[in-house]
Amino acid sequence: MHRKYLPAFLTQNNKWVDSVFNTLSEDERIAQLFMVAAYSNRDSSHQQEIEKLITDQKIGGLIFFQGGPIRQANLTNAYQAKAKVPLLVSIDAEWGLAMRLDSTMKFPKQMTLGAVSDNNLIYQMGEQIAIQCKRMGIHINLAPVADVNNNSENPVINYRSFGEDKYKVANKAIAYMKGMQNKGIMANAKHFPGHGDTDSDSHKTLPIIKHNQERLDSLELYPFQQLIDSGLGSMMIAHLYIPSLDDRPNRASTLSENIVTDLLQKEMGFDGLIFTDALNMRGVSAFYDPGKLDVEALLAGNDVLLFSEDVPKAIEEIKTAIDQKLISQKEIDRRCRKILSAKAWCGLNKYQPIETASLSEDLHKTEAQFVNMKLYESALTLLKNEEDIVPVMKLSEKKIASITIGATNKNEFNTSIDRYCDFDPFSYSLKPSNEEITKALDELKEYNLLLITIHDMNQRPYQNFGITKQLNSLVDSLASNHNVIVNVLGNPYCLNKFDGAHKAKAILVSYEEEALAKDISGQMIFGGLPIKGMLPVSIKNHKSGVGIIIENSIRLNYTMPQALNISPKDLSGVDLIVSEALREKVFPGCQVFAAKDGRVFYYKSFGNHTYDKELYPLKQQIFMTWLQLQKLQVQRRP
């Protein structure tokens, strides 16, 4: 049996657990095992339904799905006020609260993080996500995904995995876990025993894993074991059919004592909370009625019944199972105490309502934004760089076209490169017609450098990740006759479907269509930032772990003040001074530009070009003058 560290919530001697447990009836102890789905974007009837489960059934927890932060905070306060025992609240926030909530920060997805070499940055991300969860009254983040994704056609894990290298997956998952748990938010590793090598979605069907025990031990189970040995708080069981572990027909791993009890708890030594994956998913719900499904999950060894479809019926079925001696009340009580211990560790023994004042500002702190920026700067990956075309040199000799595929010309990439060079913008659809392709070839024939950025992609393998035949044809034709740099704002697996991109002189994988990725990719292409990402999965012509490193920047980098250990608060005085000068009419407007060691950390325009506000806004006139001077300076560089 493996065991290095017990989950932290099991190491405390908490009188609160005993006192609360002794107030609960046998039915209420059963109810503590249920975590039901709640939404903050639904109407009052949904709220009433949840409140009835809290007051009548005394359920133990909630998992929040779609909605908004203020609405969820208000609902959480309302629900907690009605609970006999404070509710354990969870959320799927694999890439931060934005995975479920609008108006919140989005951190990189795990495939993007798989390209980051410095796992301390992932630890810092875990801390920031934990701080935001805690601010929202959330106690468990259902992350990290510890699946090793080695199937490019995987429709459900894929970009949610750190990649195909089990060692990197384990180390990154541990960094994420420790970042959260050291800030008091319980991590939840999923989807045990490994959902990475499937080509079907357990939300819709029951995927089959055909590997033998030896293969599972050597690959899929490795990250989970490392997380367990490092003090993981909770685990989620996948809905998978794995004949080598349990060959009963249609017996999902969630419902298998062989997997949940014998393998996970006895062999691998896991003592933390064990969650089912959502019990409404077709991977299990297609084979069992509500209520009976919950009993099967309990008999397998799970502690938390997630997204139960009928709690009252399930409680009655569990009571019947106790009467039939399929499970004992003593075993129910043991699991109930585990959940109460988790509640105490999460701070529910000293419950306080969520303060909604300044909530939005607290969920967008500059510390979190800075970590987010550093992650993208570390992840973007240069896969190909013939003739050292990146970074772009000798700008005075270049006639550059920036070609936006799948979006308009107004985008952060074009804004980024506009700091460095003159260029002409063009845009085409993801499915250009033959006429559009002919037109593109004609209007681009005079340019000697084409920057092609692919937008509006998707994560679905069966749709080629958004890569169309027409797009392939366009890029193939352009790359056959021009110097082309392709910038992919999407899943690297798309390059298995994108033959045209492989004809380009350079390929930059930017992983996601996020403002930061667009801005940073532009800076990298023109030498404002080093490039250090490493490919997390194998694709056509490129193995996992490769990446062309460019160690030094050659031009200005546009960054945040924290990059130079300057507090944003220290710069607030600049705004005050300029605002006062504008009020006193010392000048009609100005622009403040601050840089150190080649890094621009403050750049802001104030007021107007003249005292007549209707004439020549400063942001247009002064900026354009400054920009031309900058371009002249840049063009003198190599």
> Could you please report the per-residue DSSP string of 64-106?
E-SB-HHHHHHHHHHHHHH-SSPPEEEE--BTBGGGTBTTS--
CB neighbour list of residue 577: distance below 8 Å, 6 or more residues apart: none
CB neighbour list of residue 417: distance below 8 Å, 6 or more residues apart: 402, 423, 451, 522, 525, 526
Task: List 237's β-bridge partners, or say none.
Answer: 192, 276
Say what the pLDDT of residue 621 is. 54
Residue 633 has pLDDT above 90, yes or no: no
In contact, 453 and 487? CB cutoff 8 Å = yes
Say what the pLDDT of residue 616 is. 47
Say what the pLDDT of residue 12 is. 83
Task: Give the pLDDT band of residue 13 (cuts 50, 70, 90).
Answer: confident
Task: List 589's β-bridge partners, or say none.
Answer: 607
Residue 205 has pLDDT above 60, yes or no: yes
Write down the residue that tokens 């008091």 correspond to.
184
User: And the tokens for 434?
Assistant: 């033959």
State pLDDT tens for residues 528-546.
999 999 999 999 999 999 9
User: And the tokens for 441?
Assistant: 């070839």
Question: Nearest to residue 194, comparing CAs of 182, 227, 186?
Answer: 227
Sheet holding 557-558, edge to edge: 557-558, 599-607, 589-596
Buried b vs exposed e over 544-566: b needs ≥16 C-beta within 10 Å? Answer: bbebbebeebbbbbbbbbbbeee
Q: Which amino acid is at 6?
A: L
Write down the residue that tokens 């300057």 correspond to.
566
**What is the chain's mean pLDDT, rounded?**
94
State pLDDT tens for residues 434-448.
999 999 999 999 999
Spatial distance between the Cα atoms of 535 and 538, rounded to a whole number of angstroms: 7
- Percent share of the chain, pLDDT over 90: 87
Region at 125 (left for phi over 0; alpha for psi -120 to 50; beta for the rest): alpha
Residue 572 has pLDDT above 50, yes or no: yes
Task: Give the pLDDT band of residue 147 (cuts 50, 70, 90).
Answer: very high
**Where would I find the H helices in 240-310?**
257, 282-285, 292-300
- 54 φ, ψ to 5°? -70, -45
In contact, 209 and 369? CB cutoff 8 Å = no
In contact, 524 and 380? CB cutoff 8 Å = yes
Question: Nearest to residue 88, comparing CAs of 145, 22, 141?
Answer: 141
CB neighbour list of residue 583: distance below 8 Å, 6 or more residues apart: none
State pLDDT tens for residues 167-189.
999 999 999 999 999 999 999 99
Which stretches of 270-350 are assigned E, i.e. beta strand?
273-276, 305-306
Angle at 516 between CA 510 and CA 521, to 5 degrees: 40
Say what the pLDDT of residue 608 is. 87
| The pairing of beta strand 381-385 with beta strand 305-306 | unpaired
State pLDDT tens for residues 126-144.
999 999 999 999 999 999 9
